[in-house]
Every structure is written in structure tokens, then in C-alpha cells.
Structure 1
């Protein structure tokens, strides 16, 4: 694992304070136990960014991973519940979900594993590559997914490129931060499908490559790693240039709004990749004239 001072993933902290099991309204706990039987122990999980309640529940029916937010801001969780049958088995199976007493809670298959280490020479990298190669086996739902060119249109305009270069009909996760990639005895699994999109088949590999750069890889090394994943062959230099430029603009916007250390590191990583792509394209253009 890379040192804490140089790891973007280790600097990630929750956006909201955690609510414990016993702090949930009694009606919410009762609704959960209607699915699980008695909850004998609840261990709050501190990783992850957006859920207010995240816990490992030991219940009559076995261990469950549960996460929840107030119902008024549960749009992302509702998308995740909708997408889950289409994202399994790369995503853990959703067993149940409830929306009661002002809370929306999801209950998932519990996975034993650890967040992926994406630093150079990490032993987790082969499992991550195998998981990315399997993503094209997923079938997207008929509704519930935005097309990537829509949420990234503004960043594309700012970067002077066209986000439609990234368009496609493949189901993608797009938030490949190491906490969302769990390394288990059965391989890498991808959790927290809150932002599913339809796009080109190589986008999730590119999103992972960006995190590799943030965790200490050079842009060249990250691209060479990605090149071993079959979908990468469908990317062209102009589409990779567009992805890098859009993400540099996107993370510059994000870090300006919320300059937490890990977001600043992603901005630096995205900017360095975009500069690498610009220099590479300029070199290729010179060689072909």
C-alpha cells in the first residue's frame, strides 16, 4: 500500500457524520429486522462517502451490509436498487430495501474483503483487471441510466472537446475509487452503483487508470496497465484525449468547490494525464506531418 501521505484513497473521508444502528428510528430498525430477524450486533463502517448509515449487521439470517440515507436525498440509492439485478454478480446482491420513517435503507449480500490497493506493484491489480474485463458481460436496464455525455457535457465544453466522443450503450459504474473495489477470495467486486451510466465500453477502465495515477502510477504506466484489458482496444487516441481533458476540467471544478486533499490529488492526477495526452498527440502530429 502506498504511504498515507501519497494515497488519495486513504485521504477520503465521509461527507456526512455516521448514524449508528441504535440512533436509527425504532420503526426503521423494526423494518430491517422484518427482513433479517434479530440484529445481534451492528458494526458501523466508517469508509465510504455519501451514506449516513453504513453498518455490518450480524443477524438471525447471517451477516448483512446495510447502508441508508434520509429518504429526501435517496435518489442515488434508488438508482442503485434499480441497477442491482443488472450489475450482479460483479456487484453484491441486494437482498432488500426499505423506505420508512424518513429513511431509505439497502441491505446487501455481505462481502469479506478489503478495498483495492491501486498503488504501483500492488498484488490487487490483476484481480481489478479481471473484474474490468468482465464488466462488458453486464446488460443495462431499459431505464435508470444516464448517458455519460449528459452529465459530462459542461466539463467537455470547458475542456474544448465533445463529450459525445465517450458515448455508447455499455453499462458502467464510473466511480472506481479504491473503496468501491473490494478484493475478496472470489476476485474483485464493485460496490456502490449510485451513478450508473451508458457509455463506451472502455470508460470504467479509464476511470480506474485515473485512480492509478492518483495512487502513484505515471500516466504512461497507467495506460500500459489498461492496455491489457480487452475493451481498451476500442478506445482511440482522440477519445482518450477527450476523456483526459474532460476529467481534468471536471476535477478542477470539483476541487475548487470542495478542496479536500483527496479531491486535490485527483485534480492533479487528471491534469497530469491530460497534459500527457496533449504532449503525446502533439508528438504524433509532428511525426505524421
Structure 2
């Protein structure tokens, strides 16, 4: 469920002053609607630069997401926006990221963004997991796997994003070709098998109009996907069909129902294909 969003102007004066110690006096503030985890989400500029600010009260039930993003950010060079500063004061935890240019990735069949996202996931698949506390993929999927033994397929030592919503991928066509796409919102960073993010992408590709076969063909552009046993991919599809079924039952809005349809379509394809 989405966190209630408030404006930057509603921060305590001490928190706002602490932010401006890093930025200088703010010239523009553009509140943003994307994302579900943050109470504060804004793009700001000053005479010295531009930042994307994310924030939560330190007592918020999801305060751990701020800590997770702050801890993982130094290990994501070239994969995510750089974390420039962090402010913890007056009951608030605020992160100042570099402001990225570009547009949200288009996952539709034939989109020119698809090769850029595949290149991003190839780079991510080569990244070892940093030595920080992260949940394991098996822990996150434990309640959803069809068989407990299936959890062995999800084990690994790579850092995973796990939320391949196209709104979390920014593509900048003016950036160098090898570095055009970045992943934002690492609140759900996880440790696991390198191929899992390609699997998460498959679900969003199907939701964007791909057939399961087409989506898996794009996943096969990521070398880690080719290391996954067929049985493991099927187990992953089954677990995610259960994940999205639970989400859509608890929060049955159009987009969650769309994702449960995509996940169950993929699972059916894996069982019969």
C-alpha cells in the first residue's frame, strides 16, 4: 500500500535547514508522484546543483527502506543514481540522490528501450553482493513457493533489485550507449541468484503486452538467465503468481489485478510449455 505523500514545505524547519546545508537555498521544488515507499519525494534545484530527495519519518513502519537504500547505494555505481548526502534530524531520514535525466522505460513490444534495459540487467548480473545485511531471495519467497525444496533455486550471492516496474527504470538516450539505463528505488534490494531480476522483468514484460515466449526471449539476453535450470524458472514463476495473487487480494486495484494476470499467465506457460 502506498505511503501518504507530503510536501517538502511540511518538513520541520530543522530538517529543511539540514538539507540546505548540503544544497544551499533551494530555487525550485517539484514534488513527484512516483514510488510508494516515501513520504517525501521531490526533485529540487539550487545554485549549486540538483537532487532527488526521498524521505520518511524515522518512526515510520517502513523506515528500514531508507536505511536499505543508503547502505546499498555505494555499491551500485553505474546501476543506480548516486547518493550524495543523507540527513537524519528532527525525526526525519532524508536521502539526496543525484537527479537523473531521461524517461521511464517503455516495456511494450518493439520499444527501443528494451535493449537498454537488457544491457542494464547484464551489468547488474555481474555485480557481486556487498557485505551488508540484506534479506535472501529464499526468505522473501518462502511463503509463496509451491514446494519448500524450490527455494534452493533462488539462492545466490548477487545483489538483486527485485522490483522491475518500468517506473523504476530511467532511460537517458543522451547518455553513453553503455550506460543509458539506471534502476531507482532499491528499498527491496535482496541477495540471491543472479538470474532472478531477469525473471522479475519477465512478469512486467508480459504485463506490457509481450507473450510469455517473447518475454523469456528478452530475459535470455541476460547471461545469468541462461544459467537458470528450467525447473527453477518454473518454480520462480509459481511463487510469483502466488505473490501477486496475495497482493491483488489485499489491494485489488487495476494495476495489481493486471500484474496478477501477467504472473499467472507466465506460470501457466511454464507448466504447459
- Do these two structures clear the TM 0.5 threshold for a shared fold by scoring above it? yes
Distance 1:15 1:76 in 2: 13
Distance 1:217 1:114 in 2: 21
Residue 101 of structure 1: how far off its partner (Å): 1.2
Residue 160 of structure 1: how far off its partner (Å): 6.9
Note the alpha carbon deviations across 1:102-160, whole angstroms, 9 max, x for none.
Answer: 21110001101111111111111110011011013323221221110011100014x67
Note the alpha carbon deviations across 1:71-92, whole angstroms, 9 max, x for none.
Answer: 1121011011000011122111
Distance 2:236 2:129 in 1: 22
Query: Which aligned pairs between 1:120-199 and structure 2 lie closer than 5 A?
Result: 120-157=109-146, 162-184=150-172, 185-186=174-175, 187-199=180-192
Distance 1:219 1:114 in 2: 25
Note the alpha carbon deviations across 1:6-55, whole angstroms, 9 max, x for none.
Answer: xxxxxxxx813321121111111101001111111101011111211111
Residue in 2 aligned with 1:257? 250
Distance 2:112 2:31 in 1: 28
List structure 1 runs of 4+ shifted beyond 4 angstroms: none
Give secondary structure in 1 for the equivalent of 2:56.
strand
1:276 equivalent to 2:269? Answer yes
1:212 equivalent to 2:205? Answer yes
Give secondary structure in 1 for the equivalent of 2:79.
coil
Decide which moves more: 136-145 or 37-46: 136-145
Residue in 1 aligned with 2:231? 238
Asked whether the 8 Å contact 1:83–1:144 carries over to 2, the reply is no
Provide the TM-score with structure 1 as the length reference.
0.89
Q: Which stretches in structure 2 are left out of the alignment for 5+ residues? A: none
Report the CA distance shift for 1:65/1:201 in structure 2 as closer, same or farther (over 3 A): same
Asked whether the 8 Å contact 2:159–2:192 carries over to 1, the reply is yes
Give secondary structure in 2 for the equivalent of 1:176.
coil
* CA RMSD between the two structures: 1.4
The one of 79, 97, 103 equivalent to 1:114 is: 103
Distance 1:258 1:237 in 2: 31
Q: Per chain length, whose mean CA-contact separation is higher, i.e. which structure has more relative contact order (CA < 8 Å, sep 6+)? A: 1
